[in-house]
Amino acid sequence: MSKKLGVAIVGSTGYGGVELIRLLASHPQAEVTSVISSSSAGTPITEGYPHLTGIREELLDDVDAATIKSKADVVFLATPPGVASKLAPELLAAGLKVIDLSGDFRLKSPALYEQWYKKPAADEEHLGKAVFGLSEIYAENVRGADFISNPGCYPTATTLGLFPAVKAGFIDPATIIIDAKSGVSGAGRGASLGTHYSELNENLRAYKVNQHQHIPEIEMILSDAAGAEVVTTFTTHLVPMTRGIMSTMYASVRGDRSLNDFLELYRSFYEGRPFVRIRPEGQWPATKEVWGSNYCDIGFALDSRTNRITIVSVIDNLVKGAAGQAVQNLNLMMGWDETLGLQFVPAYP
Ligand SMILES: NC(=O)C1=CN([C@@H]2O[C@H](COP(=O)(O)OP(=O)(O)OC[C@H]3O[C@@H](n4cnc5c(N)ncnc54)[C@H](OP(=O)(O)O)[C@@H]3O)[C@@H](O)[C@H]2O)C=CC1
Ligand SMILES: CC(=O)N[C@@H](CCC(=O)OP(=O)(O)O)C(=O)O
User: What's the pLDDT tens digit per position in 225-270?
Assistant: 999 999 999 999 999 999 999 999 999 999 999 999 999 999 999 9
* pLDDT at residue number 201: 96
Starting from the CA of residue 190, give the closest ligand: 1
Looking from the CA of residue 321, the nearest atom of ligand 2 is 9
**Of 132, 182, 193, 195, best ligand 2 pocket probe by most atoms within 8 Å of the beta carbon:** 182
CATH at residue 184: 3.30.360.10
Q: Are both 171 and 245 inside the same structural domain?
A: yes
User: Does the beta carbon of 78 sit less than 6 angstroms from any atom of ligand 1?
Assistant: yes
Which residue in 14, 160, 181 sits closest to 101, CA to CA? 14
**Of 101, 104, 184, 247, best ligand 1 pocket probe by most atoms within 8 Å of the beta carbon:** 101
Residue 140 belongs to a domain? no
Q: Are both 203 and 55 inside the same structural domain?
A: no
Q: Are both 182 and 292 inside the same structural domain?
A: yes
User: Does the beta carbon of 184 sit less than 6 angstroms from any atom of ligand 1?
Assistant: no
Q: Which of 7, 52, 68, 153 is catalytic?
A: 153
Name the 3-class secondary structure at 45: helix
* pLDDT at residue number 40: 97
CATH at residue 78: 3.40.50.720
Asked about 296 being catalytic, the answer comes back as: no
Sign of CA dihedral 328, 66, 40, 88: negative
User: Does the beta carbon of 88 sit less than 6 angstroms from any atom of ligand 1?
Assistant: no
Q: Are both 198 and 299 inside the same structural domain?
A: yes
Which residue in 200, 198, 171 sits closest to 184, CA to CA? 200
Buried b (16+ CB within 10 A) or exposed e, 188-219: eeeeeeebeeeebeeeeeeeeeeebbbbbbbb
The proportion of the chain whose per-residue pLDDT surpasses 70, expressed as a percent, equals 99
Compute the distance between CA of residue 104 and CA of residue 107 in angstroms, rounded to an integer: 7
Which residue has a Cα nearest atom 12 of ligand 2?
152
Q: What totals of helices (H) and strands (E) does the chain contain, helices first?
A: 11, 13
Question: What does pLDDT average to over the chain?
Answer: 97
Q: Are both 91 and 161 inside the same structural domain?
A: no
Which residues in the chain come in under a pLDDT of 70? 1-2
* DSSP, res 2: P
Number of structural domains in the chain: 2
Reported pTM: 0.98
Residue 138 belongs to a domain? no
* pLDDT at residue number 2: 60
Residue 303 belongs to a domain? yes
How many A from CA of 12 to the centre of ligand 1?
Answer: 8
User: Does the beta carbon of 72 sit less than 6 angstroms from any atom of ligand 2?
Assistant: no
Which residue has a Cα nearest atom 17 of ligand 2?
187
Structural domain harbouring 178: 154-317
* pLDDT at residue number 100: 99
Q: Are both 162 and 208 inside the same structural domain?
A: yes
SS3 sequence of 316-345: CCCHHHHHHHHHHHHHHHCCCCCCCCCCCC
Looking from the CA of residue 38, the nearest atom of ligand 1 is 39
